[in-house]
């Protein structure tokens, strides 16, 4: 009887191992894809303005978001967020926290094709809000479609005052897009799979609780090369 119980437990353990490995592989691929997406988008001639990247406190990337996921469950985006480290966001880019994108009317804008999204978080309040809880864009945090081009000087003051600027790439077309009504939140289950322990998003980004995992090194290295210094207004309010 005891041997039968032990055999059953071993069989269950062996069944669970591939599932865990598959989950880890999915998160690793997601992090790798985030690095690919941000580099490809920044290489587009009419891309995210360099001065906006240089003034952003954090960047969130959601690769290959599908409308089908919106249809079946309303939860349709998984990606990663990284912020500049240090009390005043002046250090190198942090290890990433996994993130989820949900709800809103975005499903009707995707058009049935895989769409990449990039969100720039432009001030500390927006960063802390997103990392601590679920945030509804346009309600809990001001959001706007991000301007394109080499500079953002021609953009409206309303756009540049937004806490979050959002962009999309679909079928090779790149554009600013409004994600108002959608929510962004930390994906704590994803973080546990990536870092092999329970760790809060704020601890990952603000406290340096973990090192940059290998699948995210391409993403972090690119951002550190592309925008090594925070050029936002030093006189702006910082938490």
| Per-residue pLDDT tens digits for 34-72 | 999 999 999 888 789 998 999 999 999 999 886 554 444
Cβ count near 214 (within 10 Å): 10
Task: Extract the residue ranges of the chain whose pLDDT is less than 70.
Answer: 1-23, 66-75, 104-113, 150-160, 171, 233-239
Domain total of the chain: 1
Look up residue 98 and give its two tokens.
């996994």
Q: Specify burial of residue 221 (Cβ count, 10 A radius: 0-12, 13-18, 19+).
A: middle
CA–CA dist 59, 167 (Å, integer): 11
| Phi, psi for residue 111 in degrees, rounded to 5 | 75, 25
CA–CA dist 3, 27 (Å, integer): 37
Long-range contacts of 110-114 (CB under 8 A, 24+ apart): 110/65, 110/66, 110/67, 110/70, 110/170, 111/67, 111/170, 112/67, 112/68, 113/67, 113/170, 113/171, 114/64, 114/65, 114/66, 114/170
pTM for the predicted model, two decimal places:
0.82
The residue range of the domain holding 132 is: 24-226
Strands 164-170, 143-145: pairing is parallel
pLDDT at 10: 37
pLDDT at 234: 57
Asked if residue 95 is part of any domain, the answer here is yes
Asked if residue 14 is part of any domain, the answer here is no
Asked if residue 15 is part of any domain, the answer here is no
Asked if residue 231 is part of any domain, the answer here is no
Asked if residue 233 is part of any domain, the answer here is no
């Amino acid at each position: 009887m005891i041997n039968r119980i032990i055999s059953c437990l071993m069989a269950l353990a062996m069944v669970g191992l591939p599932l865990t490995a598959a989950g880890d592989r999915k998160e690793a691929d997601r992090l790798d894809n985030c690095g690919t997406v941000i580099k490809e988008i920044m290489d587009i001639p009419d891309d995210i303005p360099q001065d906006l990247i240089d003034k952003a406190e954090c960047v969130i990337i959601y690769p290959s978001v599908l409308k089908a996921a919106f249809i079946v469950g309303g939860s349709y985006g998984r990606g990663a967020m990284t912020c500049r480290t240090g009390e005043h966001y002046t250090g190198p880019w942090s290890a990433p926290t996994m993130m989820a994108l949900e709800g809103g009317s975005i499903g009707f804008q995707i058009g049935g094709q895989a769409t990449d999204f990039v969100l720039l978080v432009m001030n500390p309040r927006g960063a802390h809000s997103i990392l601590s809880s679920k945030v509804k864009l346009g309600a809990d945090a001001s959001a706007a479609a991000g301007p394109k081009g080499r500079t953002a000087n021609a953009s409206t003051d309303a756009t540049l005052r937004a806490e979050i600027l959002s962009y999309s790439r679909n079928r090779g077309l790149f554009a600013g897009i409004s994600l108002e009504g959608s929510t962004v939140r930390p994906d704590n289950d994803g973080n546990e799979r990536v870092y092999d322990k329970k760790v809060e998003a704020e601890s990952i980004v603000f406290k340096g609780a973990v090192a940059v995992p290998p699948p995210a090194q391409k993403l972090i290295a690119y951002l550190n090369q592309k925008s090594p210094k925070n050029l936002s207004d030093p006189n702006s309010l910082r938490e």
